[in-house]
Amino acid sequence: MPRIPTGLQSRVMSAEKAGQLITSGMTLGMSGFTLVGYPKALPEALVASGHAKDLTVCTGASVGDDMDGVMAKAGIIKRRYSYQSNKSMRTLINEGSIGYIDMHLSHVPTFVNRRMGGIHIDAAIIECAAVTEEGLIPAASMGASDAFVRMADKVIIELNETIPLDIIGMHDVFDIGVPPNARPIPITHPLDRVGVNFIPCPPEKIAAIVVTQLPDKSPAFAEPTEVSRVIGRHIIKFLQSEVAAGRMPENLLPLQSGVGSVANAVLQAFADSGFRDLTMYTETFQDSALELLDQGIILGATTCAVSFSANLQKHFYDNLAAYREKLILRSQELSNSPELIRRLGLVSMNTPIEVDIYGNVNSTHIAGSTVMNGIGGSGDFTRNASLNIFATESVGKAGAISCVVPMVSHVDHTEHDTQIIVTEQGVADLRWKTPRERAELLIEKCAHPDYRPMLRDYVTQAAKTAKGQHTPHDLSQALSWHQRFLATGSMK
Amino acid sequence: MPRIPTGLQSRVMSAEKAGQLITSGMTLGMSGFTLVGYPKALPEALVASGHAKDLTVCTGASVGDDMDGVMAKAGIIKRRYSYQSNKSMRTLINEGSIGYIDMHLSHVPTFVNRRMGGIHIDAAIIECAAVTEEGLIPAASMGASDAFVRMADKVIIELNETIPLDIIGMHDVFDIGVPPNARPIPITHPLDRVGVNFIPCPPEKIAAIVVTQLPDKSPAFAEPTEVSRVIGRHIIKFLQSEVAAGRMPENLLPLQSGVGSVANAVLQAFADSGFRDLTMYTETFQDSALELLDQGIILGATTCAVSFSANLQKHFYDNLAAYREKLILRSQELSNSPELIRRLGLVSMNTPIEVDIYGNVNSTHIAGSTVMNGIGGSGDFTRNASLNIFATESVGKAGAISCVVPMVSHVDHTEHDTQIIVTEQGVADLRWKTPRERAELLIEKCAHPDYRPMLRDYVTQAAKTAKGQHTPHDLSQALSWHQRFLATGSMK
């Protein structure tokens, strides 16, 4: 099939001309999720032209430097919504030059569809593999593109000719509807298809089609360290004990695995775990997941994006027709849906920045003030999973930072939400544990031995000074480790 | 119909004898939610006998003093799960004598059904209006009773003869199932009935039936103060503006209203609001909600409990057959279900202890260490509602405490979750606002004028000292207001 039907050929234009459809102050809903499937030509054209400023850019999640980095550095973004992981963008956010709103990923399409708080998408800019009279065939991610297209005044398509047309049929797009007319999502297995394989869009809404051959900048994953291998083995052993206790099927429940190198390394540990016939229900599908799929250890997955390093990306696209049977690309409204995460009973695995002795988790901020990336989907998954795991090395910056602290400097996941904390030191199972029991477990099982005496001292001091002994804190010292780190570069 | 079928008459026994079925160290799943529908005879019998110690007591939510207070003071409870609001229980928890685990209410039945973390219910003790060969007709609350009965080794029934049998048909019990076999909940309107009107239970599992005539200790609601009336009017005006903007139907979306006097007062404001044909989807149905139902302003509701003061309780029971058409009592697995809260698009209204300048909400702790009640369902509703509102007076303890602080001493709802904060001073709409915009709104719209200069000073100082300007905090001063309160009794 042609990538563009005859009736829409007239909308084909240069990125420069399409960029003229964007004007200052607009809110743009742009495709992209975990560094793939984002527009690449429009950002460059907008930066080159410079006519459109003060833009609000809303995406599903993280996009490449050729979008976020380029636009941020050019100073044309005023506000950035929902998630980012770009160095230049992060710098400008933390300088206070770009306003950033860090959201649960499941909220983004839901709030856009419901016009929550008056959000209005002036234009959707969506990378696609093809377009039809019925709608759009997205590229390597779904993100919140379905909501953006549905609610936008106009749609600009970046039609990427490097994406094989075999991707047609990999997507599954389902319109939940808006209250009071929202409907149940009829998914009961990660591989259930319940919708259509395109994003519905009336042809008259398509304002421009820009043809590109610009590939996704493939993410790079660090080689697993010995420490991350140990963490992976702890998780496998813990899951085996859950199966042995009869609390989890032998092929577990659908896995969710977070973004980045640690998550990638943890997933690698499943390769020689003995687990078989696994499924995934996750927001991103990275290198190690594809390897597990090739090995037959994972039978199939729902994901919001396929995000591979260069070699595996080529392998994936070369074998797209086969993968189409095993992978479903869904909008983050479904991949991160509390309804589905709870129903399917996921095992979620995410990476914290730090955890405190009572099990509160910080996923976003350094020393309370500086945002790193964002909460992403970790809140959607953690709150609703059957079993949630946070895995991290026990120390950072060559031991200068403890990942177990008296009180986290920013809370993204509360004590009510967290269950299993894993470091290379061991596993703390916080389920059905009181705050003081949690403190003991986290210190003795997860904290680095260098920091245990200091943590024990804090617990002793807090018990002496606190009026209430349910969650004893010494407020004069609770954040002192972060203060010391800011002053000296070390928590020690 | 008889309250006890012939085939089960042999199980009728005294509370003393039934109490002998409970032994030390057992985990008990007991009925009760927002002070109604809890066992009253068994607690007294267990305390009188004293043979069973070190009990773990798990309930749906709060129960009366004749259960929690009596058992706590007798020293027979070692651990208490999920929610409490009892003075004696709270005292012992904060002394460190009773271990308390404060959970999202939606998690309780789900985790019990899935045996999460190895939880096992040795005995369920459930207050009922009647029992049949098929199962139990619960009393004034559903709580997590369905899960407790399903998973318990044995079931002890307190059959309360003061509950009119007209209650039969008011309950709606639906078994979601356990992953990988959990199923969609087919509710798309608050008044949809999808299950059976009893808790299924094989007769052989019923170990004892204790007949009682002990009424629920009715909760008392404080008369609305002028301040709470102003808060109520702010909320009405805000909701009217949402309707005017076309973002909400004229009869709004289903309302959820929290527990206690402030929530009760806020709901009263709907009486002369002009709103009509409202529905509720909520965990508790209190006095003002019943008044709105009688006035025809609320058409009907799903609730997990009906919790009225003495006069209204009598009125309710006298007219039970009529109310049965308009009220559905469901398990907290459904009343607090993220799936349903998101699908129905609730407007949630809850009461915080304090909120910080970035919109993090503390619902549970005083000065970080002392727990008050618990998070209850506020997390379930806040995270998944279409619109969430936290309403509180701007100051407490005659002005000695500001409810807007630099940093909350405990986080129950994160900045990612909260939307609308209301005090008698005004409304802060935090939707699509950056952290620094939130700070300005919360200070200028919600904080008490007495505290605004101090809050502005903190913001200025934080901007000067913080390395990152996304969420600027001065960690040396962030918790100083609570420290000052602990030292002097005032935040000033």
| Number of other residues whose CB lies within 10 A of the CB of residue B296 | 10
Q: Which of A64, A158, A148 lies closest to A108 in space, CA to CA?
A: A148
The whole-angstrom distance between residue A335's C-alpha and the CA centroid of its chain comes to 10
Give the C-alpha distances (Å, rounded to integers) separating B390 from A457, B305, B428. 37, 21, 10
**Average pLDDT of the segment spanning B145-172:** 98
B44, B158, B242, B283: the active-site residue? B283
Contact by Cβ (8 Å): A459, B452: no
pLDDT tens readout for residues B208-252:
999 999 999 877 778 889 999 999 999 999 999 999 999 999 999
Q: Is the pLDDT of residue B334 over 90?
A: yes
CB contact under 8 A, B466 and A368: yes
Tally of residues, chain A: 492
Q: What is the biggest distance separating any 2 CA atoms in chain A, rounded to whole angstroms?
A: 77
Q: What's the pLDDT tens digit per position in B355-410?
A: 999 999 999 999 999 999 999 999 999 999 999 999 999 999 999 999 999 999 99
Q: Check if the beta carbon of residue B199 is closer than 8 Å to that of residue B145.
A: yes
Residues of chain A with pLDDT under 70: none
CB contact under 8 A, A462 and B96: no
Q: What is the pLDDT of residue B261?
A: 77
Q: Would the ipTM clear 0.90, i.e. be above it? A: yes
CB A470 within 8 A of CB B369: yes
pLDDT of residue A221: 78
Q: Is residue A147 classed as helix, strand or coil in its secondary structure?
A: helix
Instruction: Give me the half-sphere count of Cα atoms (radius 13 Å) on the Cβ side of residue B345.
Output: 22
CB contact under 8 A, B368 and A110: no
Q: Flag if A434 and B99 touch (Cβ within 8 Å).
A: yes
B354 to chain A, minimum CA–CA distance in Å?
A: 15
A interface mutation test: which of B243, B416, B436, B460 has the most A CBs within 10 A?
B416
Residues forming beta bridges with residue B208, ordered by sequence position: B156
Q: pTM of the predicted model, to two decimals? A: 0.98
Q: Which residues of B touch A98 (CB under 8 A)?
A: none
Among chain A residues, the shortest Cα distance to B186 is held by: A184
Tell me if chain B has a CB within 8 Å of the CB of A377.
no
Query: How many beta-carbon pairs under 8 angstroms link A with B?
Result: 260
Taking only the tens place, the pLDDT of each residue in B443-459 is 999 999 999 999 999 99
| Cβ-based contacts of A412 with chain B (< 8 Å) | 414, 416
Supply the residues of A annotated as catalytic.
283
Note which residues in 218-247 of chain B have CB less than 8 A from chain A.
Answer: 245-247
Pick among A79, A342, A474 to test the B interface (most B CBs inside 10 A): A342
**Other CB atoms closer than 10 Å to residue A7's CB: what's the count?**
10
Residue with tokens 């008050």: B372
Q: Is residue B400 within 8 Å of residue B490, measured between CB atoms? A: yes
Cβ <8 Å between B180 and A249:
yes
Using DSSP, state whether B392 is helix, strand or coil.
coil
- Per-residue confidence (pLDDT) for residue A219, from 0 to 100: 76
pLDDT interval class at B259 (50, 70, 90): confident
The whole-angstrom distance between B450's CA and the closest CA on chain A is: 24
CB contact under 8 A, B432 and A101: yes
Residue B42 or A260, more confident: B42
Distances A107 to A246, B418, B419, B431 between C-alpha atoms, Å:
34, 12, 12, 12
Distance between CA atoms of B402 and B357, rounded to whole angstroms?
A: 12
For an interface test with B, the pick among A95, A101, A105, A256 (most B C-beta atoms closer than 10 Å) comes out as A101
Which residues in chain A are closer than 8 Å to B483, comparing Cβ atoms? Answer: 475-476
> Rounded to an integer, what is the distance from CA A85 to the centroid of its chain?
10
> CA-to-CA distance for A179 and A176, rounded, in angstroms?
9
Q: A416–B104: do the CB atoms touch at under 8 Å?
A: yes
State the pLDDT at residue B138.
Answer: 98
Give pLDDT tens digits for B47-64. 999 999 999 999 999 999
Give SS3 for A115. Answer: coil
Radius of gyration of chain A from its Cα atoms, rounded to whole angstroms: 23
Q: Is A4 left (phi over 0), alpha (psi -120 to 50) or beta?
A: beta
Is residue B410 within 8 A of residue A478, CB to CB? The reply is: no
- Residue B162 scores a pLDDT above 90: yes
The domains found in chain B, sorted by start residue, are 6-212 (3.40.1080.10), 226-484 (3.40.1080.10)
Record: contact A179-B383, CB cut-off 8 A: no
